[in-house]
C-alpha cells in the first residue's frame, strides 16, 4: 500500500524519538555516521526505524545539513572577489552557521570547494560561473553567512619572573578581527 511504512518499520511517538535524540545527534553530527547506519544501530536496540524516519527527525531538530552547499561556496567566492577588487588587503573569513555552532571558512577553503565544483561541472560538460554579486549576497543572507576581515598580529607577552623582573616574549601570530560586516553591507556602495 503506497505511503504506508514497510513491514520492518513502525511509527514511533515523539517522546520515543526524543529519548534517542542525543544518541542520534552524536552519531550523525560528531561521528559522521550515515542515516542507514544509524537506523541499523537503533534497530539493534529495539527502536525499529528506517533512514527516512531518521532524516525527518534530523530535519525537525534542525540537524539535517552537515555539509555546506556548493551554491554557498560559490556565493562566498563571488563576494570575496568583489571585496578584493575594492582593494581590501586583509584576509576574508566567512562565518558559516552550522547545526550546533558557527564555523569559520577562509578563502583557501572556499577556493578548494569551488575548484571541486568546477571539476564536477567539467566532467558533465557544463559551464562554470560564479553568481553575480547581487545573487551571491542574497544566497549568503538567506543562509545567515557573514564575513569578517582579519589581519595577523604578533603580540608581545609581558610577564614577571620569580624575582619580579619584566620578561618579554613574542607570541605566535593571532587573528585580529578588524570588523564584522553583514553581507548586504559588503555589496552596497
Q: Which residue do the cell numbers 603580540 mark?
A: 155
91 shares its domain with 143:
yes
pLDDT in the model for residue 185: 46
User: What does each of the 189 residues of the chain score in pLDDT, given as a tens digit?
Assistant: 444 444 455 677 778 899 999 999 888 887 878 889 999 999 999 999 998 999 889 888 877 766 788 889 999 999 998 888 877 656 888 988 876 777 888 888 898 888 888 888 888 878 878 899 999 999 999 888 988 776 544 444 555 667 665 554 544 444 444 444 444 444 443
78 shares its domain with 132:
yes
pLDDT in the model for residue 49: 92
pLDDT in the model for residue 98: 78
111 shares its domain with 56:
no
51 shares its domain with 138:
no
pTM: 0.55
123 shares its domain with 177:
yes
137 shares its domain with 182:
yes
Q: Are 38 and 24 in contact (CB under 8 A)?
A: yes
Residue-range definition of the domain harbouring residue 126? 70-186
100 shares its domain with 25:
no
18 shares its domain with 91:
no
**Burial status of residue 61 (CB atoms within 10 A of its CB: 0-12, 13-18, 19 or more):** middle
171 shares its domain with 129:
yes
26 shares its domain with 45:
yes
The answer to whether residue 8 is domain-embedded is no
The answer to whether residue 82 is domain-embedded is yes
DSSP 174: E
Domain count, the chain: 2
The answer to whether residue 65 is domain-embedded is no
The C-alpha cell that represents 132 in the structure block: 553575480
The answer to whether residue 101 is domain-embedded is yes
Q: How far lies 9's CA from each of 22, 42, 48, 55, 132, in Å?
A: 21, 12, 6, 14, 46
The C-alpha cell that represents 42 in the structure block: 537503533
The answer to whether residue 164 is domain-embedded is yes
Radius of gyration in angstroms for the set of CA atoms belonging to the chain, rounded to a whole number = 23
88 shares its domain with 167:
yes
The answer to whether residue 6 is domain-embedded is no
The answer to whether residue 159 is domain-embedded is yes
pLDDT in the model for residue 37: 93
The answer to whether residue 1 is domain-embedded is no
130 shares its domain with 180:
yes
Q: Which residue do the cell numbers 511509527 mark?
A: 11
pLDDT in the model for residue 84: 81
Amino acid at each position: 500500500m503506497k505511503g504506508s511504512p514497510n513491514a520492518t518499520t513502525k511509527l514511533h511517538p515523539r517522546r520515543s524519538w526524543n529519548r534517542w535524540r542525543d544518541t542520534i545527534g552524536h552519531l550523525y553530527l560528531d561521528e559522521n555516521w550515515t542515516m542507514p547506519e544509524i537506523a541499523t544501530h537503533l534497530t539493534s536496540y529495539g527502536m525499529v526505524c528506517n533512514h527516512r524516519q531518521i532524516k525527518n527527525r534530523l530535519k525537525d531538530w534542525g540537524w539535517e545539513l552537515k555539509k555546506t552547499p556548493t551554491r554557498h561556496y560559490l556565493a562566498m567566492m563571488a563576494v570575496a572577489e568583489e571585496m578584493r577588487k575594492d582593494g581590501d588587503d586583509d584576509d576574508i573569513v566567512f562565518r558559516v552557521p552550522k547545526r550546533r555552532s558557527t564555523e569559520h571558512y577562509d578563502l583557501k577553503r572556499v577556493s578548494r570547494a569551488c575548484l571541486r565544483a568546477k571539476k564536477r561541472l567539467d566532467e558533465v560538460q557544463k559551464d562554470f560561473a560564479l553568481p553575480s554579486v547581487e545573487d551571491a549576497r542574497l544566497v549568503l543572507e538567506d543562509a545567515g553567512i557573514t564575513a569578517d576581515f582579519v589581519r595577523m598580529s604578533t603580540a608581545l607577552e609581558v610577564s614577571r619572573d620569580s624575582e619580579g623582573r619584566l620578561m618579554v616574549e613574542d607570541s605566535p601570530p593571532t587573528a585580529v578581527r578588524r570588523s564584522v560586516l553583514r553581507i548586504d553591507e559588503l555589496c552596497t556602495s
